[in-house]
Each structure stands twice: as structure tokens, then as C-alpha cells.
Structure 1
Amino acid sequence: MSDLLLSKIQSSLQKLTTRNVFVLLLLIGLCVYGNAIFHPFVHDDVVFIQQNPNIQNLDFFSIFFQATSPQEKIINLYYRPVLEGVYRLQYKLFGLNSYGFHLFNILIHIGNAFLVFCFCRFVFKEREFKQWLALSVAVIFLIHPVQSEAVACISGISNTLLLFLCLISLNCYCYAFYRQDSFKKVILLLCSLLIFFLALFTKEQAIMFPVILVIYGLFFPKDAKDRSRVWMHGALFVLIAAGYFSFRKLIFGSTVKLGLTFDHEFWLRIFSIPATLLEYVRIIFLPYDLHYYRSKDILDPYIIPLLILVLVLVLISLWLKRTKSEQRKYVFFGLLWFIVWLLPILNIIPIINEYSTILTSEHFLYIPLVGILIAVFSALEHVYRQRGFRAGFSMFSLIVIVFSFLTVWHNTFWKNEIVLFERVVEFEDHFGRGYNLLAKAYYQAGDYEKAVVADRKALDIMRGYLAKSKGTAAESFYSGFIKGIHFDLAQYYQALGRIPLTLQNYREAIAIDPKDGIVYNNIATVYLSMGQMDQAFEYLRQSVTLTPDNALAWNNLAICYIDRGELDKAEQCFRRALAYDPSLISAKDNLERLIHRP
């Protein structure tokens, strides 16, 4: 690269206005994430958007006072009305066109990169190269491959939206921090408090924000008086958090169920933290094996990871001793940001995946990454200072090019569920649910043979977990999962025309749960398709006894009664079916034909 060109680039970077930076980040973001815009809804997107029964309802009461998760049993863990409101607003704007949801999430992520830039200008306000440092952090935050899981996946908006609100609140606080005008200072502080309140209703992780705010105030005070005031400001944010928990208590009778017990498993999770931290740092610097459902086995040996982490910390300490105290505070601030935001998701509070594996998802790094980047670019400032613009810009450009290509590539794993879960089981070979989800994806695509192979693998894994969990609370969970796999396998075999294996798997499901009327109805449907009406009749009688609100079972039972010549009972069954499901077309048509028979 010629000296003249480098000189022009350097001059342009120094003259970049805030608006120019936003446009630059917008262009980079759209280029890197543009290939994800037209991906369909996948996995959690289907649950929280496509299958959300309340998605069309923008009523305030519905959003804030009803369960925001499709599974009411986990409401105390996932009460996120702001996030739910955003989903419903997006539906109002885009319907069920996934591209609108994807574009919205990408734009939020780009907005976050811009807000990171604005915040970093406050952090680096005393540094000679504050503009370059802030821009470097923002660009790498924007394009880092580890961000793909949060940005290319629609439901990743829980992370992007949380950071968006936290960064707005933090920037408002920073502006208030340096304002001389008391009135404007108060207004900005109130805005910061209000937006933090919204962040709490977006995702529970926002509870760490007051800690970050206090750390910032202590590390970067305007003067000694402001250093003392930061505790008072922090207390205001803690009061807002207390109000949030009081609201939850008022509405649901509890705050948050943590599921925290100080048993043997708790200490296994604690001992796994060094390995988890090393893994997170490794995928930040070497993101070559990124995948969904990343997990860590807490039964793995922990001594070696602990020793490695201690060695890394010693080396960092020795290096910091050789640096100027002014530079050290930026590195310390970045590392504290990283640790504080990670604390809720380091599995101190359990985030169990399967058996002894805990989730160490890549989207957990979405917010902590900002801190690592602040620390790294603070530490590398001497490269720019000592070796000049050419060396610094060349190294930065290489990182941007490599990370951009990796991110574009990783976005493609979200283009459909087959690609997504094939990638999962490639790296998580003992993840039974991963194989089960892959089997479902194959089935939806019509590849029934592959669906059977994947679910047989899932079945083997789950049987192993069941054997290990005998006599524990987890036993019923794995039994239920195995029942579900047999249910799925029965459908796959039926699609392949292998009726004996279909019936065998349905019976395996009944052996685990003899009270599931839906399985009885499905077995009856198989017999109906073969014309074996007597066998179908017996299973259908059991089905409607166990699940009397099953409209399909009543409809099928009516067909059996017609075959037996008991037309009055058939009519009663059709009417029962329509009473439970007035939209059941087959029951309507069958009843109409029965009533108007010759």
C-alpha cells in the first residue's frame, strides 16, 4: 500500500464525523450480514413468533400481564414483556415475512456498534488516538464471527435489544456525567434510569448494568467529587432494579426462581468456570468452530484448565506491571466489563443442556465482547504509537477481512434447520436433543430415511442418560424425551410405509406413558388406514377416555361407529368433535354426509 494512499486514509479517519462513522458502520454491517436477511424462521423463531398465539395482540395488558413465553411453566425465568412487545410490533409491520425480522435485528446490531463507538469515545477521551480506538472496537464488535448467533438468528434479538437499551442508558449517563448544565444533567440521568427500567423488562441480564455503571464512574471520574457521586448514582439504578423485582413479585407472587442449590453439582459447575472462560477467550481470538448449542461437560477434568487460567492471569499481570498506570486502567475496565456481564451466564445459576453438559452458547458473548475489545485495543495502542499508522492499519485491515469472511460464512448455517443442526451434531456428538432436532428437520424436508437415522442416534444417547439418572429427578425428564423420540420415529416409519415399525414405536411410547390418549389415536389411525376397524375402535375408545377433548379421536371413533352400523353414536361423536374443535373440516363434512345420507 503506497504511502500516499495510507496518508489519505489516515487523514480521512481523523476527520470522520459522527455521521460518517454511522454511515460507515451501516455499510459494513449490511455487507457482512446481508446474506442472512432472507433466511426463514428457524428453531426458537418458530416458537416465539410463528407459533405465538398472541403475536397479533398489541394490547398493553396482554403484553405486560400475561405469560410472555409459550410455555407458562417457565414464566418466572422468562418474563420479558418489552421483548414480547417488540415481536408483536414487528409482526404488525412485517407479518410473518422473516426478512423484516432479520433486517430489524441487523439494524439493531449496527446501532449497537455505533453506540459502542460513542461510549468508547468517553472511555478513551484522554487517549491521543481516541477516535481510532473507538472506531476499531466498534468495527470488530460489528463483524466478529461470534456475533452471528445473536444477529443471524431472529430470536437473538433478546441480546441485541438488551445491549441497545443498556448502551443508550450508559451513553445518556456519560453525557450527564460531563454536563455543566444542572437541568440537562438531571434530564439525561432520568432518561438513563428510564431506559434501564425498560432493559430490565427485556432480559434479566440487565441486572448487571448498575455494576458496570459504578465501575465506569470509578475508573473514569471527571474529578474526585464525581468519584464519590457515582455511588449515589449507582444506588438510584439499584432502586430501579428493586422496583422491577417488586413488580414481578406483585404480578406473579415471586421474583425469579434461580434453581440454585449448594450441592455436588453446584461445585462441579463452579470448577468448570476456568475451562468455560478459556473456551470463551479462545473462540473470541480463534473463532474457527462456531456452532449453535455449544456445551461444556462439567464432569471433564478441571485441574489443567484451572492451572492454564492461573498462568494466563499471571502473564497478564506481569505484562500490566510493565505498562503505564494510565494504560492499565483501560485494560482493567475492559476485563471487568467482560467478567461482570458473563457472571449471570457462567452457570453459577444452572443453565443445563443435557445430563452433565451446561450451555456455553456463543450469544452469551454478545455483550461481554465489548469489554474484551476495549482491553485488547487499549493494550495494542503501543503498536500504533511505536510502529506507525502503516503497521496498525495493516494489522487491523487483515483482521477485518478475515472476520468478515468468517461471519458471512457462519451466517449461512442459519439458512435452514438441516444445515443448522448438522453443524450442531458435528461438534456436539453426544447431544441427544441435537440429533432429535435434526431428525425433525429431515422429516419436514421429506428425507425420512435420514430422519430415522438421526432419531435412532438420539434414542441411543437418551437411553444412556436415562440409565445414568435412575432414581433421580432427571429420570422422568429422560423417560419423557425417549417417549417423544418413539412418537417421532413412528411418524417417520409411517411415512416410509413401514407399518410394523410404526406400531412398535407407538407401543414403546405407550409403555412409557400409558395415559397419553394422542398416541392411542395415532395407533388407531394406522389401523384405519389398513382397514382394520375393530383394532382401531378399541384404541379410539381408550383415546377419548384418556383425552376427551381430542376432536380428531372423536371424529375417527365416529367413522368406526359408521362401519359398525351404529349411526346415532357416530352422529354423537361427530358433534362431540365439533364441540371441541368447531373448525375441524373433516368432522363437519362427515356429519353433513351422515345427516343427509340417502
Structure 2
Amino acid sequence: MGSSKSFQQAVPNLCIILCAGIIAYLNAANGGFLVLDDNGMLASLQSTSYSLVQIFLGGGGEYYRPLTVISFLFDRHWFGNDPQGYHLVNVALHLANGFLIYYLARELFREEEGRDFAALCASLLFVLSPLNSEAVLWVSARTDLFCTLFALLALIVVVKRGGEPRMVDGALVFVALLCSLMVKEASVALLAVIPLYLAWLGRAGAARRLVLAVPAIAAVLLYLFLRSDRQVKADAGVAKVVATVADASSARTSIVGDAVAAYGFYLKKLLMPFPLDFAITDINRTLAICCFLVLIPLAGVLFVRWRHSRLPLLLICCGIALPVLAFLGKIPWTPYAERYLYLPMVGFALLVGCATFRVRVVPRVLIVAFLLVLAIPTINRAALWADPIAFWGDIVEKNPRFARAHGALAAEYLAHGQYQQAEQSSRNALELGLDRDFVWVNLAESHYARREYDRYEHAMIRAAEVSSHPASLYIDLIARLGKIQGRGDDRPAYYHKAIGYYLKAYEYDETYVDGLYNAGKLYWALGENGQATAHLQQFLNHPRNHENKKYARIILDKISVSGRI
């Protein structure tokens, strides 16, 4: 009866949260896939055959996120290549997290008068904060949403049953935390959060609280074991962090200063999220260190004197530690990112909920109105995200020295038929040091669209030279040149070019034996039967079985009969 009444009291607040969240992210479904990560994720889903064994027991890479892969496979099954469905799933996960925060806050503040209002404020802040918009609007950032959902489920069990836990509660914590870790490693922070929170509940029942703490530790250990490919060794991601930090320490660089500055930056970002930036490459180091020196002691005072602040502060402080480690290990494609604060934002939202108990003189309607105003920058950002050229242009404007943003902007210009702008953005990326195959390919495409074929060919050659898989680029180049030069009087010159590119492709990738066959066939078409025989014979001598070998023998027989070797 009590739980039914409690739910009825919560319904109006949940409706407010739902409506506010839907309005804030109404434009999210209009966004497409980002050229950064989203398109690569789609290509991987299409080209890779997954099995549960491979997904869960593969291990060994920089990232181990099997449940994320499964979630995208479901999206692929239901929505295909339509980005709208992927975005709607992200929004639904974010709203679900908002509801879970509401429930968690009510449990955390269950002894306080006004807990429903505090829970409403915490949930509204989390759902509407523009700081969380990156994680919601970027399809590939679903890892943060899903990871936080399972982490919240674990925390709800800990807070609700922390005083008198049962074995089933420990099992729930184990499963929820393991699932969270299998989405993203950020929730490893709960390895510190849960035991420390339980330790501060008081001495009574301390031994029983091990029922919750031990499963949390076990979940992290099992996760690390699976991540390391079931071997007692560090996987590529962990090893990279350790090696980079060790190198920095041995080189006597200011690794402590870097860590403090990064930590202070994230603390400041929680308090003041503006300006919003998808690609944060540089920070005000002095300001960040000052924020650290001021806010950490303040957090310590609050932790000791204000018991309701302990779980929120633990979530903030431990949650920020993981992004700082990733920054030191140079794993992310940008040094800092707003999406890394999605889990720590749970703590900040709960802390704001705590604060409502201390500002009772402020009318509640004003507090709610202030929180609802946060929807405005979130709505604006969702609109910006729906326009990829404006989105990447905004990033370039804020980070003019960030080469990858110029490269991404070039790709969007190209997709929208703005070829002159695509060329300029590609050249900007190259000048800033992004000498990568995809940049040269975009530059080549901008030339091809404007029929600047010599410049197209030069750019494609350079793309192949810097690519780790050049064979496909040479093949594309041959096909395009065939449409341009492969007719009439230009045909012999085209054949000689194509022969050179086929042999280049084989030189870089010896599994591409078609390069030998195609080169030999073109030499035969040119009447250069000596070269044709040499390359076709090399093709036949290759140990790999190939359907074209029978055609190579036919050509060699014709050459032999003609006697013109």
C-alpha cells in the first residue's frame, strides 16, 4: 500500500521529467551519423560476422565493450542504416537514466522531508544539462548512456539495501556492475565508490555490508580477466595507459601537473559547462589547477559534515579519475571530452538535489524554472547536431588547430556537393599534419567532381602511399581512370598506367594476386607478349587457388600459338 501511494506521488514528477526531456531532444532524431566513429561503426556491423564467443571472449584490444556491440547489432537489425532509430534509442536510454536518478535520489534522501522535490531537481538537472547532450546526440557515445544505466541499477541496490543486505542483493550488484563494465570501462570507478560509501554508513552491520562490497570487487576482477583475453596480462588499452604514464614519469615530465589540471578542468566543467565543445584540445591550465586546489578541499569538508553528500561526491571524484587516466594514456582522439562526465554528472545532479534541503527559502517554482531553462542550450545543440556542416564548422571555429575537425568538415562538404570548400578543408587538415589516406581521398574526390583529373590522380597516389591498405585505393584509381582515359587513342597510355598501379597494389598486398593477372592481361592487349607471359606465369605459380588461373592459361596458349613472344 505504501509503495503504491509513493508511486502515485511520483507520477507527476516523472511526467515533468519525461516531457522536459522529450522537448529538449525533440530534434535529436533529425541528426545523422557522424563521419567520426559512427560511419566506421556501421561499416564494421555490415562487414563483420559476429558470434557471441567472439564478442564476449575476444578481449585483448584497447576497448572491451561486448554489450555495446550487441546493442548496435540490435539497432542494425531493427533500423538498418536509418540514423533516426539509433538516435531515438539514445534518447530513450537517457530518459531512463533520468528516471533511475529520480528513484536513487528518493532512496538516498528517504529520511528527509522534501525528498520528492530534491529527486525532481536532481533528475531534471541530469536530463536537461547541456553537458550531457554530447553523450545523447552522438550515436557512438551510447557507451556512456548504457554504462550509466547499469551503474545506477547497482547503486540503487547499494543505497536501498546497504543497511541490511541479502545475498540476492549482492548478486544483483554483481550482475549490474559487470553489465555496466561490459558496456564501458568508466564504471570501474564503482570499485571505489561502493566500498567507501558502505564504510561510511557506520559500524553497525559493517560485516554484512561485505555482501555488497565483495560482489562489486568480484565483478571488476571478472571484467579485467575477460578483457585480458582470459590471460593474466594487461590488455592493449590498460598496457597503453601504464606504458605512457611510465614513460612520462621516467622523462620527468609534469605528469602530476597534467593530471591535476585535467582533474580541475573536469570539476570546473561540471559547475560551468559552457562553452560546449565536441573536440576539446586545449584548456586554461592555470584556471584548472586553481579549481582543483579550491574544489577538492571544499569537497572534503562537505563529505565529512554533510552525510547526504557522500555518495554524490564519491561519484564525482572517482568518476573523474577514469577520464584523467585516459588522458594521461593518450587513448581518446581528443585529450578531453564532455561525454566523459556523463557518469560523474550523476553525482553532481544528486549533489544539487542535496542542496535543495539547504535553500528552503528559495521558492521551489524558481528552482524548477531555472532547471528548465537548461533545456534551451540543449535544444540549440541538438539543432546544431542535425546540421553536420554547421556542427563541424563550429568545432573548427573553436579549435582551428585541430586537424581532424578540418578533415571531418571536408567529408561533410563533399557529401553535400560543396567541392571547393571540401578541397580547402582537406588542405587545411594536411597543413596541420593530418597526412592520412582518408584526407587525400577526400581531396581527390573534390578534384574528380570538378573534372580536375590530373590532380585527382596525384591525390589518390598520395592516399595509397600513406595508407596501410593501399591495394583498394589503387583499384579505385584504375577504375576511375578507365572511365576517363580508357577509350580511343588514350587507351594504350591508360593501359600502361593501369599496369603500374596493379603491380603497385600487388607489391603492397601480396594476397592481391589479381594484380599480376590483370597486369599480364593488359600487357597481352598491348601486344607486349614477353611481359604478359612473365606476369601471367608468376600468377600461375602463386600457391593460392584462383578462378582466373584457367583464363591465364588460355591467354598463354594463345600467345604460344601466335609465336610472338
Band the TM-score falls in, shorter-chain normalisation: 0.7 to 0.9
- Whether contact under 8 Å (2:121, 2:371) holds in the other structure is no
Alignment of 1:135-150 (within 5 A): 135-150=120-135
Is 1:36 matched up with 2:28? yes
Instruction: Tell me which of 342, 346, 354 is aligned to 1:366.
Output: 342
Letter in structure 2 aligned against 1:113? G
Q: Which moved more, 1:250-259 or 1:231-240?
A: 250-259
**Alpha carbons 1:455, 1:489 under 8 Å: kept:** yes
Task: State the secondary structure of the residue aligned to 2:219.
Answer: helix
- Percent identity for Structure 1 against Structure 2: 18
CA contact (8 A) 2:181 2:223 kept: yes
CA distance in 2 between partners of 1:316 and 1:195 (Å) = 28
| Aligned-residue offset at 1:28 | 2.3
1:415 partnered with 2:386: yes
Tell me the SS of whatever aligns to 2:246.
coil
| Mapping of residues 134-283 of structure 1, within 5 Å | 134-178=119-163, 185-219=166-200, 221=201, 224-231=203-210, 233-251=212-230, 254-257=233-236, 258=238, 259=240, 260=242, 261-264=245-248, 267-283=253-269
Matches within 5 A, 1:358-507: 359-384=335-360, 386-387=361-362, 391-400=363-372, 402-462=373-433, 481-482=435-436, 484-507=438-461
Q: Determine the structure 2 residue equivalent to 1:17.
A: 9
Equivalent in the alignment of 1:60: 52
Pair 1:125–1:54, CA change in 2 (3 A): farther
SS at structure 1 position matched to 2:328: coil
Unpaired runs of 5+ residues, structure 2, are: 556-565
Residues 440-589 of structure 1 mapped to structure 2, 5 A cutoff: 440-462=411-433, 481-482=435-436, 484-509=438-463, 516-518=470-472, 520-521=474-475, 524=478, 528=482, 529-530=484-485, 531=490, 532-533=493-494, 534-550=496-512, 557=519, 560-561=522-523, 563-565=525-527
1: CA distance, partners of 2:468 / 2:167: 64
State the match for 2:270 in structure 1.
284
Post-superposition Cα deviations, 1:236-272, rounded to whole Å, max 9, x if no partner, equal 3212322222333454663433222333478445313
Please list the CA deviations of residues 38-86 of structure 1 after superposition, one character each: whole Å capped at 9, or x if unmatched.
42222322222343246775x432432347xxxxxxx522111111112
Distance 1:272 1:546, change over 3 A: closer
Change (3 A) 1:256 1:329: farther
Q: Deviations over 1:430-457 (max 9, x none)?
A: 1111111211222222222111111111
- Determine the C-alpha separation between the residues in 2 that align with 1:138 and 1:105: 17
Q: What CA distance in whole angstroms lies between the structure 2 residues aligned with 1:264 and 1:435? A: 29
Give distance in 1, aligned partners of 2:105 and 2:64: 31
Find the aligned partners of 2:168 and 2:192 in 1 and give their Cα distance. Answer: 22
Structure 1 unaligned regions, length at least 5: 1-12, 68-74, 463-477, 592-598
Cα distance in 2, alignment partners of residues 515 and 83 from structure 1: 27
Farther-moved stretch of structure 1 (266-275 vs 192-201): 266-275
Deviation of 1:197 after TM superposition, in Å, equals 1.8
TM-score if structure 1 supplies the norm length? 0.77
CA separation of 1:363 and 1:515: change in aligned 2, threshold 3 A: closer
Partner Cα distance (1:239, 1:99) in 2: 38
Q: Which has the higher contact order (CA 8 A, sep 6+)?
A: 2
The question of whether the paired residues in 2 share the 8 Å contact of 1:76 and 1:254 is answered with no
Task: Specify the alignment match of 1:3 in structure 2.
Answer: none
How many angstroms does 1:330 deviate by?
A: 2.9
Please name the residue that 2:44 is paired with: 51
Conservation of the 8 A alpha-carbon contact between 2:521 and 2:532: no
RMSD, matched Cα = 3.9
Equivalence for 1:132: 117
Q: Is the 8 A contact 1:544 1:554 kept in 2?
A: yes
The Cα shift of 1:460 comes to 1.2
Distance 1:523 1:248, change over 3 A: closer
Shift of 1:337: 1.4
Distance 1:125 1:514 in 2: 58
Q: Which residue of 2 aligns with 1:472?
A: none
